[in-house]
Amino acid sequence: MFNRRKFLGSSFLASTAWFLRTPDAVITGDDQQPTASGQRNSPLVISTWDFGKAANAGAWEVLSKQGRALDAVEAGVRIPEADPTIHSIGYGGLPDRDGFVTLDACIMDEKSNCGSVMCLEHIVHPISVARLVMEKTPHIVLAGNGALEFALANGFKKENLLTPESEKIWKEWLQSSKYEPVINIENKKYSPGGPLNHDTIGMLALDSAGNLSGACTTSGMAFKMHGRVGDSPIIGAGLFVDNEIGSATSTGVGEEVIRVVGSHLVVEYMRQGLPPGDACRKAVERIVLRDPAKAKGLQVGFLAMRKDGVYGAFCIQKGFTYAVHSATEEKIYESESWFS
Query: Contact positions toward ligand ASP, by CB under 6 A?
Result: 198-200, 218, 220-221, 230-232, 251-254
User: Considering the complex, what minimum distance in angstroms separates the CB of residue 221 from ligand ASP?
Assistant: 5
Q: Based on CB atoms, which residue is closest to ligand ASP, 199 or 207?
A: 199
User: Considering the complex, what minimum distance in angstroms separates the CB of residue 239 from ligand ASP?
Assistant: 11
Q: Based on CB atoms, which residue is closest to ligand ASP, 95 or 220?
A: 220
Q: Based on CB atoms, which residue is closest to ligand ASP, 18 or 91?
A: 91
User: Considering the complex, what minimum distance in angstroms separates the CB of residue 128 from ligand ASP?
Assistant: 19
Catalytic residues: 200
Exposure string for 215-241, b = 16+ CB within 10 A, e = fewer = bbbbbbbbbbeeebbbbbbbbbbbbbb
E-only strand ranges, the chain: 44-48, 103-108, 114-120, 141-143, 201-206, 212-218, 239-242, 246-252, 300-306, 311-315, 321-326, 330-334
Length of the chain, in residues:
340
Other residues' Cβ atoms within 10 Å of the Cβ of residue 299: 25
Q: Based on CB atoms, which residue is closest to ligand ASP, 129 or 316?
A: 316
User: Considering the complex, what minimum distance in angstroms separates the CB of residue 134 from ligand ASP?
Assistant: 21
DSSP string for residues in 251-264: EE-HHHHHHTTHHH
User: Considering the complex, what minimum distance in angstroms separates the CB of residue 218 from ligand ASP?
Assistant: 5
Select from 31, 68, 22 the least CA-distant residue to 324: 31
CA geometry: angle 212, 136, 155, nearest 5 deg: 110
CA dist., res. 49 & res. 321, Å (int): 5
Q: Based on CB atoms, which residue is closest to ligand ASP, 162 or 237?
A: 237
